[in-house]
């Protein structure tokens, strides 16, 4: 939707008809009016800004036009003699930018700043002069959009300019609004630039400015910028899409327009005052639909034909919030709604202030029509975003006094949540290149999701965020102490990607216990704030050097090297006599050094590595797959460490899950998955699959065994660990007694009547002894 078409509200309902001019001509009336103004001593409005004044008066009838006139005269005098690359006088640029803002409904202060936005940068006018003539508020806006000099910042000038604008936007969102209008006019005239400059400016617009327009909710700016960038960077695709749109525009609308008329009559009969219209999609939106149709081509290779809903949508504008749901009721009563297509953004607005009801219904002919339902105020905000909310400083006062700000009490137009997060992490990124790349990556997110904590707190996160991001959004200290998460009532790994509407609970280690993020968390952190906090914590606390084991060297197996000496990513096992043979560590018994292992050939020429005595490996031996001799490669480990499955049996009690998870995380192990079986006679078994260096496995098992209530910790998959039906037993063989024990670990008899030790030689406890 091009702004040049003018504002949406072009006429006021119920306005009195204009009186006939009589015998006087319009020119005579104009001369008489100017004479009357001169008689009062007031200067007339310059003709150059008269179109701006007319548009501005529609939104602000009491505007101070004298201030606009003074700003124009200063800008015209300062830019006099300067020319644009198109050959036009430079003053045409601030005039065009101001017209765009006037059509959006911006206030007088914003228009004054837009007229002057290039004076400090390109003329002899100083910021002090702007402040003295027009006040500190206008000076702040002008300074916010003024570029930094390349002479002072070199190649970092563009990045630092955007950082400066973001910081200024944090205090006054109108800074970014003026910048977006400025970029829109530059994009409208981009054809006069050199090809290399066109591509560079279009890419920056695509990566930074369009996402910012989306986050500020200014849909009319975003749509036109998208179309111009699309035409600049992808002219062939743009031409193809425009051709498709032209074909559909030339055809009569025999689906959506009749449906809109029928819906309007239905709502009138139901007593609901509403305006129903058909809104065409813009070019980029249709292009996205074409890409989906190409990807879903039929068996003959031909893409699916475009449907009416792919070209346009039906918009219903009502007076009150309650009317939105009344319209929805009529829609779903008279037409068949499509499952999964209803979205309520009225009760839960989007992060960019957008509010509407979305639904889709099937028409009698089988076609699908998408319908948007919103109030007039919602419609203005959906089109013009934060501009429709007015001056953010006045808005705060109006909201406090019960003004229009109350209707959007879940939003803050001056500092939206996404902007607060940008301002937070940019302070931690002094390097311009790092800031620029992080800014583009952050803004490239398709949107935001809303998760809810179990205490009712709402968390706004980018699409693709994980539980790690949710933990750090609750606070850096909470993130550092995080040991696990619960999503929708079920235990989940910290790497779990959250979806819109998920209920998440962050499990933290008790105060005073060692905690902190693992390096692997960086792979799951999506938000810059989480990544910066983790990187800062890891930099301040380098990995400690592991203390030597006090046990005699002859009584313990040699541990494989870890840290810098260890080789990450190499196969940890070698097949004797067959160098280079690919190996796969079995998931049933999760072998780690120094377990005795046996190899069995599998498909593809690889070798499966099982612990010696593993029931699955024994079945492979019985099937005739000859065992192969293997040897652990000193210092070699998988890229993410060895994956090991551990069972912990305990007396059931509150917070057992949190305590076990904290104990594992405190030893630096990453929890890949976890499962809790239903309690049996007050006993419960927790199963964890962890990723860790082989040398840390004994320490992790010791830490789990020290958790109160835990009486047994063991690795499944050892000799005799499986029952007849393939599952391992509770308290049967295959627990700790089947793992080698170490004298440094004191065995403790649990309910199984056998040793709960998990390293060193086989214990002498009776595995089938009485429980208790």
Q: What is the mean pLDDT of the chain?
A: 78
State residue 115 phi and psi, 5-degree precision: -65, -30
**pLDDT category of residue 717 using cuts at 50, 70 and 90:** low
Residue 16 pLDDT > 70: no
Q: How far apart are CA 700 and CA 713, in angstroms?
A: 10
Query: What angle, 0 to 180 degrees and rounded to 10, lies between the N-to-C axes of helices 219-233 and 235-250?
Result: 120
How high is the pLDDT of residue 764?
34
More confident residue, 298 or 247: 247
**How does DSSP assign 55-121, residue by residue?**
HHHHH-TT--HHHHHHHHHHHHHHHTT-B-TTSSBTTHHHHHHHHHHHHHT--HHHHHHHHTTTHHH
How high is the pLDDT of residue 396?
46
Average pLDDT over residues 226-243: 94
More confident residue, 641 or 331: 331
**How does DSSP assign 232-266, residue by residue?**
HH-HHHHHHHHHHHHHHHHS---SHHHHHHHHHHH
How high is the pLDDT of residue 90?
93
How high is the pLDDT of residue 741?
36
Residue 374 pLDDT > 90: yes
How high is the pLDDT of residue 301?
60
Q: 3-state SS string over 500-515?
A: CCCEEEEEECCCCCCC
**pLDDT category of residue 5 using cuts at 50, 70 and 90:** very low
**pLDDT category of residue 159 using cuts at 50, 70 and 90:** confident
> If we measure between CA atoms, which residue out of 266, 268, 182 comes closest to residue 225?
182
Residue 335 pLDDT > 90: yes
Of the segments 463-477, 512-526, 638-652, 715-729, which one has the largest average pLDDT value?
A: 463-477
Residue 403 pLDDT > 80: no
Q: 3-state SS string over 659-722?
A: HHHHHHHHCCCEEEEEEECCCECCEEEEEEEEEECHHHHHHHHHHHHCCCCEEEEECCCCCCCC
Taking the mean position of all CA atoms in its chain, how far away is CA 674?
Answer: 27
> If we measure between CA atoms, which residue out of 669, 226, 51, 164 comes closest to residue 439?
164
Residue 441 pLDDT > 80: no
Average pLDDT over residues 333-347: 91
How high is the pLDDT of residue 302?
64
Of the segments 93-102, 404-413, 466-475, 743-752, which one has the largest average pLDDT value?
A: 93-102
Active site (catalytic) residues? 121-122
More confident residue, 729 or 89: 89
More confident residue, 305 or 278: 278
How high is the pLDDT of residue 749?
30
- 55-59, 126-130, 196-200, 546-550: which range is least confident on average? 546-550
Q: How far apart are CA 649 and CA 729, in angstroms?
A: 12
Q: How far apart are CA 202 and CA 191, in angstroms?
A: 11
**pLDDT category of residue 324 using cuts at 50, 70 and 90:** very high
- 211-225, 496-510, 599-613, 646-660: which range is least confident on average? 599-613
Confidence (pTM)? 0.63
Q: How far apart are CA 400 and CA 79, in angstroms?
A: 42
How high is the pLDDT of residue 514?
61
Average pLDDT over residues 395-419: 46
How high is the pLDDT of residue 398?
42
- Pair of tokens at residue 86: 């198109």
How high is the pLDDT of residue 683?
85
Residue 386 pLDDT > 80: yes
How high is the pLDDT of residue 720?
44
Residue 710 pLDDT > 60: yes
How high is the pLDDT of residue 99?
96
The percentage of the chain sitting over the pLDDT mark of 70, rounded to a whole number, equals 77
Which residues does residue 359 pair with via DSSP β-bridges, in sequence order? 371
- DSSP 8-state assignment for residue 561: P
Residue 486 pLDDT > 70: yes
Please, are residues 663 and 657 in contact by the beta-carbon 8 Å criterion? no
- 11-20, 62-71, 165-174, 747-756: which range is least confident on average? 747-756
Average pLDDT over residues 243-268: 90
């Amino acid at each position: 939707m091009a702004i040049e078409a003018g504002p949406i509200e072009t006429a006021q309902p119920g306005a009195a008809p204009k009186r006939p001019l009589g015998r006087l001509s319009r020119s005579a009336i104009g001369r008489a009016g100017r004479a009357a103004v001169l008689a009062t001593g007031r200067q007339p409005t310059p003709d150059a800004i008269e179109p701006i004044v007319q548009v501005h008066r529609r939104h602000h009838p009491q505007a101070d036009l004298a201030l606009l006139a003074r700003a124009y005269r200063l800008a015209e005098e300062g830019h006099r003699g300067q020319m644009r690359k198109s050959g036009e006088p430079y003053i045409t640029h601030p005039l065009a930018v101001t017209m765009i803002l006037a059509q959006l409904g911006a206030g007088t202060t914003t228009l004054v700043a837009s007229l002057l936005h290039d004076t400090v940068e390109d003329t002899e006018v100083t910021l002090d002069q702007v402040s003295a003539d027009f006040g500190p508020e206008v000076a702040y806006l002008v300074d916010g959009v003024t570029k930094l000099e390349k002479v002072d910042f070199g190649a970092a000038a563009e990045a630092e300019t955007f950082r400066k604008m973001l910081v200024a936007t944090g205090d006054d969102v109108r800074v970014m609004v003026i910048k977006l209008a400025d970029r829109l006019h530059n994009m409208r005239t981009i054809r006069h630039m050199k090809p290399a400059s066109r591509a560079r400016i279009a890419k920056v617009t695509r990566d930074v400015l369009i996402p910012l327009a989306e986050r500020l909710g200014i849909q009319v700016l975003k749509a036109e910028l998208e179309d111009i960038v699309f035409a600049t960077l992808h002219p062939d695709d743009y031409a193809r899409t425009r051709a498709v749109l032209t074909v559909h525009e030339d055809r009569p609308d025999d689906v959506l327009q009749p449906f809109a008329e029928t819906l309007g009559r239905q709502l009138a009969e139901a007593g609901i005052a509403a305006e129903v219209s058909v809104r065409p999609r813009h070019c980029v939106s249709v292009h996205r639909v074409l890409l989906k149709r190409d990807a879903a081509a039929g068996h003959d290779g031909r893409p699916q034909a475009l449907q009416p809903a792919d070209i346009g949508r039906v918009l219903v504008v009502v007076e009150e919030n309650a009317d939105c749901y009344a319209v929805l009721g009529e829609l779903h009563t008279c037409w068949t709604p499509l499952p999964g297509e209803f979205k309520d953004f009225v009760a839960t607005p989007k992060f960019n202030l957008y509010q509407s009801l979305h639904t889709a219904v099937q028409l009698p002919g089988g076609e699908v029509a998408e319908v948007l339902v919103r109030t007039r105020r919602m419609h203005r905000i959906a089109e013009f975003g934060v501009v429709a909310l007015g001056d953010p400083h006045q808005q705060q006062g109006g909201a406090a006094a019960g003004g229009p700000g109350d209707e959007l009490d879940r939003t803050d137009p001056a500092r939206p949540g996404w902007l607060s997060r940008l301002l937070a992490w940019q302070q931690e990124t002094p390097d311009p290149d790092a800031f620029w790349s992080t800014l583009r990556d952050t803004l490239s997110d398709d949107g935001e999701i809303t998760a809810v904590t179990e205490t009712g707190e709402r968390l706004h996160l980018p699409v693709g965020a994980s539980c790690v991001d949710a933990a750090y959004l609750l606070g850096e200290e909470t993130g550092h102490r995080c040991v696990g998460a619960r999503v929708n009532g079920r235990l989940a790994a910290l790497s779990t990607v959250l979806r819109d509407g998920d209920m998440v609970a962050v499990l933290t280690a008790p105060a005073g216990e060692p905690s902190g993020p693992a390096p692997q968390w960086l792979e799951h952190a999506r938000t810059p704030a989480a990544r910066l906090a983790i990187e800062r914590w890891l930099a301040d606390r380098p990995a400690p050097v592991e203390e030597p084991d006090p046990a005699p060297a002859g009584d313990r197996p040699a541990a494989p090297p870890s840290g810098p000496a260890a080789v990450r990513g190499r196969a940890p096992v070698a097949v004797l006599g067959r160098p280079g043979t690919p190996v796969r560590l079995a998931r049933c018994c999760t072998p780690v050094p120094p377990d005795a292992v046996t190899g069995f050939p599998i498909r593809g020429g690889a070798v499966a590595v099982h612990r010696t005595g593993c029931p699955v490996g024994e079945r492979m031996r019985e099937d005739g797959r000859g065992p192969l001799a293997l040897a652990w490669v000193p210092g070699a480990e998988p890229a993410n460490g060895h994956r090991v499955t551990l069972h912990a049996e305990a007396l059931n009690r509150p917070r057992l899950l949190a305590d076990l998870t904290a104990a594992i995380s405190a030893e630096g192990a990453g929890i890949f998955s976890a499962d809790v079986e239903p309690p049996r006679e007050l006993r419960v078994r927790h199963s964890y699959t962890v990723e860790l260096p082989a040398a840390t496995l004994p320490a992790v098992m010791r830490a789990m065994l020290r958790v109160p209530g835990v009486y047994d910790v063991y690795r499944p998959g050892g000799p005799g660990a499986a029952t007849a039906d393939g599952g391992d037993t509770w308290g049967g063989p295959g627990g700790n007694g089947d793992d080698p024990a170490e004298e440094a670990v004191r065995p403790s008899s649990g309910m199984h009547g056998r040793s709960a030790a998990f390293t060193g030689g086989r214990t002498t406890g009776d595995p089938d002894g009485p429980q208790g």
